[in-house]
A and B are shown apart, each in its own frame.
Chain A
Amino acid sequence: MSLAPLNLPDYREKSPEVAARFKKIGQRPVVLNVRDLHKSFETQEGPKVAFEPMSLDVHRREFICIIGPSGCGKSTLIRIVAGLEGASGGEILIDGHPVSGPGPDRGMVFQGYTLFPWRTVKQNIMFGMEMRGRARTNADVEARQWLDMVGLSKFEKAYPHELSGGMKQRVAIARALANEPRILLMDEPFGALDALTRCKMQNYLLQIWKKVEVTILFITHDLEEACYLADRIIVMGANPGRVLEVIDNPVPRPRRTEQLLSPEFIALKHRLDELIHGASAGESEEEERLPMIKLTEAGDEVE
Chain B
Amino acid sequence: MGLRDRLGLRHELPPRLRFVLLVFSFALPLGAWCLVSYVPWIWHPLIHVTDPGGADDYLPGMNVERAVFGQEVAAVVKKGQKPPEGYRVNPVYLPPPGKVAVAFVTAFTTPPRLPSEPWLYQSLGQSIRTIFWGFVISSLLGVPLGILCGTYRFFARLQEPFIEFFRYLPAPAFGALCVAILGIDDAPKVAIIVIGTFFQQVLIIANTVRKVDPALIEAAETLGAKGWRLMTSVVIPAALADIYTDMRILLGWAWTYLIIAEVFGTMSGITLFIVLQGRYLHYEYVYAAIAMIGVIGLTTDMTLAWLAGALFPWKRRRSGQRRRAKMFPPPSAALAEVTENAVNSLGSNA
Binding site for B on A (CB under 8 A): 82-84, 101-104, 106-108, 110, 112, 114, 116-119, 127-128, 130-132, 159-161, 175-176, 179, 185
Contacts and interface: CB of A to CB of B under 8 A. Distances in A.
Given A132-B224, A159-B313, A127 B233 contact: yes
Interface string B155-175: 000000000000000000000
A175 B215 contact: no
Contact of B225 (A107, A131, A161, A175): A131
Contact of B222 (A84, A117, A119, A159): A84
Contact of B237 (A106, A116, A130, A185): A116
10 contacts: A82-B222, A83-B222, A84-B218, A102-B222, A127-B223, A131-B224, A131-B225, A132-B224, A161-B319, A175-B223
A117 B238 CA distance: 8
A114 B219 contact: yes
A116 B224 contact: no
Interface in B284-325: 312-314, 318-319
B219 A104 contact: no
Contact of A131 (B215, B218, B229, B314): B229
A106 B222 contact: yes
A160 B314 contact: yes
B224 A179 contact: yes
Contact of B221 (A83, A118, A132): A83
Contacts of A82: 222
Contacts of B240: 118
Question: Which residue of B219, B220, B221, B240 has the most chain A CB atoms within 10 A of its CB atom?
Answer: B219
A82 B218 CA distance: 10
Interface string B224-239: 1110010001100110
Closest 5 CB pairs of A and B: A104-B224, A114-B219, A102-B221, A128-B223, A108-B222
Contacts of B233: 127, 130-131
Nearest to B224: A104
B231 to A, nearest CB: 13
Contacts of A84: 218, 221-222
B343 interface: no
A83 B226 CA distance: 13
A99 to B, nearest CB: 12
Contact of A179 (B216, B223, B318): B223
Contacts of B238: 116-118
Contact of B234 (A101, A112, A116): A116
A104 B225 CA distance: 8
A81 to B, nearest CB: 10
B224 A176 contact: no
A22 B4 CA distance: 70
Contacts of B318: 161
B222 A131 contact: no
Contact of B314 (A101, A107, A117): A117
Contacts of A127: 220, 223, 225, 233
A110 B237 CA distance: 20
B216 A107 contact: no
B312 A103 contact: no
Interface string B185-228: 00000000000000000000000000001011011111111100
A159 B314 contact: yes
B1 to A, nearest CB: 32
A175 B222 CA distance: 11
A115 B233 CA distance: 13
Contacts of A112: 215
B209 to A, nearest CB: 14
Contacts of A130: 233
Given A130-B233, A131-B224, 8 more contacts: A82-B222, A84-B222, A101-B221, A107-B222, A110-B215, A114-B219, A127-B220, A161-B314
Contacts of B234: 116
Contacts of A104: 222-224
A44 B126 CA distance: 60
A108 B222 CA distance: 6
B65 to A, nearest CB: 65
Question: Which residue of A106, A110, A185 has the most chain B CB atoms within 10 A of its CB atom?
Answer: A110
